[in-house]
Amino acid sequence: MASSFNAAERPRPAFLLAGIGVLPRLIVICGALLLLLLAAMIYAASVGSTSIPYRDVADALLQYMGLTHSVDVTSSTYRIVTIVRLPGLMVAALVGAALACAGAVMQGLFRNPLADPGIIGISAGASFSVVLVMTQTAAVGDLWLLTRGPMANALWRVPVAAFVGALLAALLVYMLSLQQGRTNLAALLLAGVALNSVLGALTSVLLLRSADASATRSVLSWVVGSLEGRGWDYFWVALWPILVSAGLLLLYSRELNLLTIGEESAQSLGVNVPRVRLVLLTLSSLLTASAVSVAGTIAFVGLVVPHILRLIIGPDHRVLLPASLIGGAAFLVFADAIARSIIAPEQLPTGTVTALVGGPFFVSLLWRNRRRIALL
């Protein structure tokens, strides 16, 4: 009777893979997510204004990687897959990985599941800075011609502006949410809402004052989060900042784990909390800014992906961060495929699709955490 009583009282695992060690859990989840990413890439490359069979897409991708030589490289199928669609899918994967990883870090840093680069105003800060640069710079129509034209020497102007705006927004929201050295969840959300509103209004003013109608239309398409027309130039601009930032964040997995149990406990275990907080905030802002600089404001990726993965693999950031990188890539590639196929041959902004998914998800999280918010 005692053993059965203890079994009944024993708490259930907090996540699906609770009985598996860290390394096996990492291998299992990353392997599964890589397969999911591959499937998403094949599906996304097959849909659009011209539908292509999955087998032909897979053959074209294998030919492109040099793993087979059975496909005619001059065929329309091969050119559509590798020249028209593959660059955009690679940008989508890179942006999704960055946003999901940044969201996982912020949720751990602020110790709540509602933190997200878009919700707390970091994406809005990056967007405002980029729009400021794009609308107040001469020859704005050539700003996105990253390797040619009169703006060729300003290659890093947009990413740098995005990083400065994202970092300033992150620091402002963080300072406004502090209460006796701790992050207040209600204050965090309210500060994010206020900052999003103010920066959104300022962005609208910049767009209205822009004299170039074509540039304004391009900026509007970018602001809502679109991957249309994104090629290899965009990919290479964002690749290294995202790789470096994500790699450094992986090195801080242990410190992030300790911060989630409390800043006092982390300090007693040898963590320099102020320095680590600043480093994590800076790196996650750089991730967000790099993604925003090439894709615009794509919301809720950093909210949905880490939260779902945390339910499966737990809160250990040694597993959660690499899983978020791959899971975010797969999520945004799939969202981009939906955006290109739902009203084909027209294309919805990818940010619209993620908002339709993430909005209800965010509302459900608010509902589940309503008691906690009310007490703060």
**pLDDT tens for each residue of 117-163:** 877 788 888 888 888 877 765 444 444 444 444 444 445 677 788 88
Q: Which residue has the higher pLDDT, 240 or 154?
A: 240
The answer for residues whose C-beta is within 8 angstroms of residue 166's C-beta and 6 or more apart is: 117, 122, 123, 125, 126, 129, 285, 286, 288, 289, 292
**pLDDT for 7:** 42
330 lies in a domain?
Answer: yes
C-beta neighbour count of 198 within 10 angstroms = 13
Q: Which residue has the higher pLDDT, 2 or 314?
A: 314
**Alpha-helical regions (H) of the chain:** 2-9, 22-46, 54-64, 76-79, 86-110, 122-135, 157-177, 185-209, 213-223, 232-251, 253-260, 263-268, 273-295, 301-313, 317-341, 350-368, 370-375
Q: How many domains does the chain have?
A: 1
Quote the tokens at residue 259: 């911060």
Q: What is the mean pLDDT of residues 23-33?
A: 93
Q: Tell me: the pLDDT tens digits for 341-373?
A: 887 677 788 888 888 888 787 778 777 766 655
**pLDDT for 117:** 82
Q: What percent of the chain has pLDDT over 90?
A: 23
**pLDDT for 12:** 47
232 lies in a domain?
Answer: yes
Distance between CA atoms of 25 and 28, rounded to whole angstroms? 5
The answer for residues whose C-beta is within 8 angstroms of residue 195's C-beta and 6 or more apart is: 120, 121, 124, 125, 169, 172, 173
**pLDDT for 1:** 42
**pLDDT for 327:** 95
14 lies in a domain?
Answer: no
**pLDDT for 148:** 46
**pLDDT for 4:** 43
**pLDDT for 212:** 63
Q: Which residue from 237, 119, 139 is spatially nearest to 189, judged by alpha carbons?
A: 119
Structural domain that includes position 127: 87-375
30 lies in a domain?
Answer: no
pLDDT at 33 > cutoff 90: yes
Q: Tell me: the pLDDT tens digits for 199-238?
A: 888 888 887 776 666 666 667 766 777 787 788 888 988 8
17 lies in a domain?
Answer: no
3 lies in a domain?
Answer: no
Q: Tell me: the pLDDT tens digits for 55-95?
A: 988 888 888 887 777 777 888 888 888 888 899 999 999 99
Q: Tell me: the pLDDT tens digits for 293-334?
A: 888 888 889 888 998 998 889 889 999 999 999 999 999 999
CATH code for the domain in which residue 290 is found? 1.10.3470.10
177 lies in a domain?
Answer: yes
**pLDDT for 150:** 40
**pLDDT for 5:** 37
38 lies in a domain?
Answer: no
**pLDDT for 323:** 96
